[in-house]
Copies of this chain bind each other. A is one copy, B any other.
């Protein structure tokens, strides 16, 4: 489960240099000199990050990214450009870029910015510490700390709480929860969720004084 970085850069020597340095840090890379085959690759492979030159012959890199965004592809992007005027930086960000590097840049900085973006975007799966108020989930050890004390949860309860904590301020309906927490193709009834939620509430807030989980009548449940 390594990290795959896709690079589009028309200057071949720079492309090689980038691939070499990122490879040395343990990243897998795929280099392209233009955007021709990029969309296919994005559909086939799970790409974690795109490094995109903005000054490509033909297509503008930022226009390409804008079209990716329009078709629902939200892979993070770092733009690379020789231009360093504000207007261009602005355009890059507005079109869905996550960071911006201007040539010439050091390979060290490239690696650092790549790591920072990845840290932010794969936070949950890699680092694995999610917090909400005084609740902390550790995904690796599947442990739960509430008010500095450990709380024991079953697998189902943990997964359910994780789903809620990963979607703070979002109302999750029962269908969604059955799909994402229970998963599989078993058929369950909506009531099943009610009972599971109540068992979870009982464990994380026995006094019923915290009101972590709010039920939204007719819709579902939320952490807010």
Contacts and interface: CB of A to CB of B under 8 A. Distances in A.
Interface of A: 72-74, 76, 86, 89-90, 93, 96-100, 106, 108-109, 112-113, 115-117, 119-121, 123-125, 129, 131, 136, 138, 140-143, 154-156, 167-171, 216-219, 222, 224
A86 B99 contact: no
Contacts of A171: 140-142
A131 B154 CA distance: 29
A72 B148 CA distance: 11
10 contacts: A72-B136, A74-B123, A74-B131, A86-B108, A93-B115, A97-B116, A124-B168, A124-B169, A140-B169, A142-B216
Contacts of A136: 72
A156 B217 CA distance: 10
Given A86-B109, A99-B116, A119-B98, A129 B74 contact: yes
Contacts of A216: 142, 155
A156 B216 CA distance: 12
Nearest to A222: B141
Given A72-B131, A109-B86, A123-B74, A141 B93 contact: no
Nearest to A216: B142
Given A72-B129, A106-B86, A155-B218, A141 B115 contact: no
Contacts of A138: 169
A124 B169 CA distance: 8
